Amino acid sequence: MGNYTAQQLADILQREDPEMNLRKVRYYTQIGMLPPLELAGNRRVYTERHLNHLRAVLTLSKSGESLAQIQSKLAGMPDEEIAGLGERLPFYQPEHIMANETLVLSEDVMLTLSPRIPAELKAEMIAAVSSLLKGEKR
């Protein structure tokens, strides 16, 4: 598990989200969005756990959540789930959204498909998910 300074963390995250910067890392730390910093010798450092939390914060903020909602959600969430949330960050990047087609099948289900998927397979997938939503058996 690596140890990071706030600047190193900001640099890593800026490659994943250009809006991230040192100021935001420090702000999220200050308002308690992240777990307490770890001690390494006599220094306070960030770890992979903090990196996962920040990725989750970015993912949830891109999905429209307020900082208060994000803080509340992350408070009781296990570290594995937080890491899983953070892994979804690439799906919210503009280039991903623009390159793929997202279909809203219901209030609760959205299907995002790559343009590389053949039209026939796409139609089958939409029909299968739609029938599952209607409770039909195939």
CB 16 within 8 A of CB 90: yes
Residue spans per domain, the chain: 6-92, 100-134
**Residue 12: CA count within 13 A, CB half-sphere:** 17
Report pLDDT for 96: 58
Report pLDDT for 39: 87
Report pLDDT for 1: 58
Per-residue pLDDT of the chain (138 residues; tens, 9 = 90+): 589 999 999 999 999 888 899 999 999 999 999 999 998 888 899 999 999 999 999 988 887 889 999 999 999 899 999 999 888 877 776 665 666 777 778 888 877 787 788 889 988 988 888 888 888 655
Cα four-point dihedral sign 47, 34, 21, 55: positive
Report pLDDT for 102: 75
Report pLDDT for 99: 67
Read off the DSSP letter of residue 102: E
Report pLDDT for 94: 63
* Fold of the domain spanning 6-92: Multidrug-efflux Transporter Regulator; Chain: A; Domain 2 (1.10.1660)
Indicate the residue type of 135. Answer: G
